[in-house]
Amino acid sequence: MSNGTEQKILEAALKVFSEKGYTGARTRIIAERSGFTEMTLFRKFETKENLFNQVLTVNQQKIMEKVNSLVSLDDEITDPKAQFKVLIFNLVDLIDENFDYVNIIIYERDRASKSITELFISHLGDYLKKFPQDKIDSNVLAYMILSFLYFIILNKESKDAILNMDEAVGEFITYHSNSLEL
């Protein structure tokens, strides 16, 4: 079975798990959306749980690679406020582009390894330590940033969006730039 087959099944599974949750996701639907049979899905992944875990693992690797590239981008920027602004806008793009995965991590947190979320928070928290501040723990700030960005993108995805995403992100950056003593 080719990697193309596996990739198509993983992409379909990501969407279905995000939309329906683990319990509501049916392997028949995942197979249909991928363009393959349910038998092909089970030959490749054996169980729905293996498929779910593979979706998490593959996407975690992709996200961590992108996060690592984000934190190296600011080497060219010397102004801390500009660095913080670039970081937040890059995180908006990252979460927006990977919303299905983030959605699974949030709604299936009992099934997903806690280490996935902890790793992301701690990685971002370590990066945030470079900003001069003594009012808030960097891991708490990382959690606040990611929570805010998730909900602002969830709002954007909604038919009845309450907030303008660009304005809300701009206000968030301004507020936290000032509170971080940047």
Q: Which domains are assigned to the chain?
A: 1-46 (1.10.10.60), 55-179 (1.10.357.10)
pLDDT in tens, 49-66: 999 999 999 998 888 888
Q: What's the average pLDDT block by block, 10 residues per block, for the chain (182 residues)?
A: 85 97 96 97 96 93 82 69 88 93 86 75 85 79 91 87 90 84 62
Rounded-to-integer distance, Cα 73 and Cα 58, Å: 23
For the chain, the first-to-last Cα distance in angstroms comes to 53
Mean pLDDT of all residues in the chain? 87
CB 61 within 8 A of CB 116: no
Cα separations in angstroms, 49 against 27, 97, 106, 142, 173: 10, 24, 17, 30, 39
pLDDT tens digits along 71-101: 665 567 778 888 888 889 999 999 999 999 9
Question: For the stretch 72-99, what's the b/e string if a residue is b when 16 or more beta carbons lie within 10 angstroms of its beta carbon?
Answer: eebeeeeebbebbbbbbebbbebbeebb
Quote the strand ranges of 116-173, DSSP E.
Answer: none
Task: For residue 142, give the nearest of 174, 120, 160 by alpha carbon.
Answer: 120
